Amino acid sequence: MNKKTNSGLKIICLNRKASFNYFFEDLLEAGIVLKGSEIKSVRDGKVNIADSYAVEKNGELILINSHIAMYKEANISNHNPTAERKLLLNKREINKLIGKMQRDGLTVIPTKMYFKKGRAKLEIAVAKGKKKYDKRAAKKNRDWNRDKARYIRKSS
């Protein structure tokens, strides 16, 4: 999924299910602490952030359940694929996110991982989970838009 956009961002992976399962309230850009073998795997595009989320530990945000595949050339000094990874944000942003998580019951989830000026960045969203009826309405709306486009294309 190596896509290059015109803004100098090289997108590594997307969390496509995030917009279907959550309502986004705020989007932020965060750095991520990676080891040498992890960054080499990320450059190869072997990353999965579909089921990951961020939690607060000791005043820091930690990314849980993200999977970065093992780098096969890094034999002894290889990393744990599902290790917890620290997110890099300003103290004020961390406190704001922790407050929203504890007070409002919101979740912090990653939506996109990309390279910006050679550094791995993570776009995180402060999100609220959708209920089952919200998901059904979104699917119905998407299907209707697809059918509407098909009808317009056939009529013209």
Mean of pLDDT over the chain: 88
pLDDT tens digits for range 123-156: 999 998 888 888 898 889 999 999 999 999 988 7
Domains located in the chain, CATH noted: 3-130 (2.40.280.10)
Amino acid at 38: E
pLDDT on residue 2: 64
Residues of the chain with pLDDT under 50: none
